[in-house]
Chain A
Amino acid sequence: MKIKEDLRTIRFAVIICVICSLLISTTVAVLKQRQDDNVELDRRINVLKAFGQPIVDAEGSPLSKEAVDLVFAAHIEEILIDKETGSLLEGLTSEDIPRNERNAKSSKDRTMLPLYRWTENGEIVQYSFPVSGLGLWSMIYGYLAVDSTLTEFSGITFYKHGETPGMGAEVEKAWFQDQFKGKVFFTAGDLQRFEVKREGADSDELHAVSGISAATMTGNGLTVFLNRDLALYERYFSKIRKTKGIGDG
């Protein structure tokens, strides 16, 4: 009697598990493409935002996938850079990024660094690359854009973080991000240390922006990872400056 009851219990458990797992795997399989498209669209929109491009259409609604793809096709080139040597990896596209690096949390986990070029009529106008690192208690993800002379920031955007609302979370606000435009990271032949200062820093400072009130640690985090990521891309930027003879170097 006991064994019969146990068998019944096991049979019931197996049936429930099979039904539930079938249900979940089917849903995940059906929705996977759509979810991946969302993530990719979000990434592309953030690249546009870093380049200072509008991310809403004339009516104020978010850009459609088609509209974003059009802008990408017309203006944006994605290239890959070898992290160690800073040389351009010719002929490689984002498809060639090793699988384990696709969702890399920061440049620490990458061997290939993605770089986006914004071109107008074949001329490169801006560069943009992902920046990420630890804030106070979360990873902060963003894109930093620099001008074609590779000396000034032309824009920055942070799109994902878990900082405190009203404090560290202000990094996603326009007032904070707008400060970066025109700040200089390369003068006199050298990469300059960039700093997110405490709140109320002098806005005329060339290599610093004013931090967020009550979020000093978030600002310190930004200072660390922005400088780290800039130094990595500088290996490539210095080559470009040399060949083009631009910048103060």
Chain B
Amino acid sequence: MAKLKETVLDPLSDNNPITVQVLGICSALAVTIKVETSFVMSLALTSVLICSNLIISLLRNVMPSKIRMIVEMTVIASLVILADNILKAYMYDVSRQLSVFVGLIITNCIVMGRAEAFALQNPPRLSLVDGFGNGLGYSAILIVVASLREVIGFGTWYNYQVLPLAYEGNGLVILAPGAFIIIGLIIWIQRSVIHKVEED
């Protein structure tokens, strides 16, 4: 039970895929203009991560080691195409805003990274939980970054007006450099204030 809890909580901060391992930055920069798109992206990535970890873990004892990574890629790519098609059918508007970034989950290092680092060595149930935990860690950062960018950039949060209509909006945070700065600040805060990461 303790192991389960640790598997979920660890990636939330101590071992966060974005801020500590600095993986999955591409999509974290690209889709965090609005909270809505970030939320759907988080949902898509978390589902893919849970399923891929589960499937890879189930296959780990029968999978020939020579083609291990190709099999992982095939499973992940299939899951991503599924997710993309489901979004196109049921959440058309959001999927249009996310454009290629759902498809690019295939190349998101977090998914492959968890398959290699965790699912290959651990039983299915624990791998599933690990996928969920890492998805949550990714989502948490995405939502924080998106909240800052949407509120500062547009004066809205999840499309609701939160700042007075007279608020002009800040163009910098909407652009990619703004996301870089915000993610950089979050990484800095997390590493120096919350967890004293020792520099080698």
**Which residues on A are within 8 Å of B, measured CB to CB?**
5, 8-9, 12-13, 16-17, 20, 23-24, 27-28, 31, 34-35, 38-39, 42, 160, 162, 164-167, 214
Contact = CB atoms under 8 A, between A and B. Distances in A.
B174 A9 contact: no
Interface stretch (B18-26, B65-73, B126-134, B155-163): B65-73
Given A20-B74, A166-B174, A12 B86 contact: no
B40 to A, nearest CB: 15
B82 A27 contact: yes
Contacts of B17: none
B165 to A, nearest CB: 13
B33 A165 contact: yes
Contact of A165 (B70, B86, B99, B174): B174
Task: Summarize B's interface: helix, strand, loop or mixed.
Answer: helix
Interface residues of B, number: 27
Interface string B73-103: 0110110011001101110100010010000
Contacts of A13: 67, 70-71
A39 B88 CA distance: 9
Contacts, number: 60
Interface in B97-138: 99
B86 A31 contact: yes
B171 A166 contact: yes
Given A38-B89, A165-B174, A17 B74 contact: yes
Contacts of A39: 92
B75 A166 contact: no
Contact of B67 (A9, A162, A214): A9
Contacts of A24: 78, 81-82
Interface in B45-80: 62-64, 66-67, 70-71, 74-75, 77-78
B74 A16 contact: yes
Given A8-B64, A20-B78, A24-B81, A38 B88 contact: yes
A148 to B, nearest CB: 32
A166 B88 CA distance: 26
Nearest to B71: A16
